[in-house]
Chain A
Amino acid sequence: DIQVTQSPSSVSASVGDRVTITCRASQGVSRWLAWYQQKPGKAPKVLIYAASNLQSGVPSRFSGSGSGTDFTLTISSLQPEDSATYYCQQADSFPLTFGGGTKVEIK
Chain B
Amino acid sequence: EVLLLESGGGLVQPGGSLRLSCAASGFTFATYAMSWVRQAPGKGLEWVSGISISGGNTYYADSVKGRFTISRDNSKNTLDMQMNSLRVEDTAVYYCAKRGSGSNSWYVDLWGRGTLVTVSS
Contact = CB atoms under 8 A, between A and B. Distances in A.
Interface of A: 1, 32, 34, 36, 38, 43-46, 49-50, 53, 55, 87, 89, 91-92, 94-101
Nearest to A94: B59
Contacts, number: 71
B26 interface: no
A29 B45 CA distance: 19
A95 B59 contact: yes
B105 to A, nearest CB: 4
7 contacts: A32-B106, A34-B107, A44-B108, A49-B107, A91-B107, A95-B47, A96-B106
Contact of A87 (B44, B60, B100, B106): B44
A89 B113 contact: no
Interface string B97-121: 0001011011111011110000000
Given A34-B107, A87-B45, A95 B102 contact: no
Most B CB within 10 A of own CB, among A1, A50, A91, A95 = A95
Given A43-B95, A45-B111, A95-B61, A53 B102 contact: yes
Closest CB pairs A-B (n = 10): A34-B107, A43-B111, A91-B105, A50-B103, A96-B47, A32-B105, A94-B59, A98-B45, A91-B106, A49-B107
B35 interface: yes
Contact of A96 (B50, B103, B112, B114): B50
